[in-house]
Amino acid sequence: MEDRNTSLSARSAVLSALLGSHPPRLPARHLVRIGALFGIAEGTVRVALSRMVAAGDLTQQGGRYTLSERLVERQARQDESRDPHTRPWDGTWEVAVVTAERRAPADRAAFRHTMSALRMGELREGTWLRPANLVREWPETVTAQCTLIDGRPHGDPTPLLWDLDGWAAEAGRLERALDRADGLAEGFLVSAAVLRHLLADPLLPAELLPAGWPGAALRARYDAFDHRYREVLRAHMEG
């Protein structure tokens, strides 16, 4: 018999559950109960777990599954998006210009992913920038491929780099979805959607944001929701 739910795969359910757990480690039976929320059969969840271990997404020991190092880094970015580390902005922008030659397509794709995770915006191919208001270090993958510059654009390039109106509209929709979320399955899906959206927040200084920017409001609303929801979800997994 096919699983009756099509909105979430077994792999996505497992990843979302572990990314939301601190530490990111859960027994198989808890992950099976998460899958059951979406009509995913126990066997389907267990096959997904085996495949994720084989692919290096998870490690398994004593019946418990843990995120791999790569996905632990993703969880750290997710946590940072909920409580970002910023500093006062003095008007300086970070500029990263790709100067490495003959990069393989896979290397270019990995680099773009890294720059997006660093919340850099691409002005044109190979030229990335953002306001220098984040507290972080440049990873070696960036310093090895780029010339880094601190500068001050003559105009505000923000509209060329990010769709702030689109992000704000989706944030408003998600706030309403949090208010309406009914039941564990719907709450799980909305929670995952909010976390993905927060990862896409460019975290700009207030000076560059439009009036009424909903970033802080969405974080506060989600924190309140998550505190209540995690207690109910934990009871379900352990039940």
Tell me the pLDDT tens digit for each residue of 119-128: 999 999 999 9
| pLDDT score recorded for residue 4 | 38
Q: Where are the beta strands (DSSP E) in 7-151?
A: 25-27, 58-61, 64-67, 93-98, 121-124, 127-131, 146-151
| pLDDT score recorded for residue 101 | 86
23: preceding bond cis by omega (within 30 degrees): yes
| pLDDT score recorded for residue 33 | 96
Two structure tokens written together for 90 = 């003095």
| pLDDT score recorded for residue 5 | 41
Dihedral sign (CA 119, 123, 125, 126): negative
| pLDDT score recorded for residue 239 | 77
| pLDDT score recorded for residue 61 | 94
Two structure tokens written together for 216 = 């802080």
The answer to whether the beta carbons of residues 236 and 184 sit under 8 Å apart is: yes
98: left (phi over 0), alpha (psi -120 to 50) or beta: beta
Residues of the chain with pLDDT under 70: 1-7
| pLDDT score recorded for residue 1 | 32
Tracing tokens 């792999």 back to the chain, one arrives at 11
Torsion, CA 28, CA 75, CA 187, CA 194, rounded to 10: -160
Torsion, CA 218, CA 221, CA 227, CA 231, rounded to 10: -100
| pLDDT score recorded for residue 90 | 97
Give how far the C-alpha of residue 97 lies from the chain's centroid of Cα atoms, to the nearest Å. Answer: 25
CA distance 82 to 152: 28
| pLDDT score recorded for residue 103 | 82
Question: What is the pTM (predicted TM-score) of this model?
Answer: 0.89
Two structure tokens written together for 174 = 């998600």
Nearest alpha-carbon partner for 23 in 76, 81, 82? 76
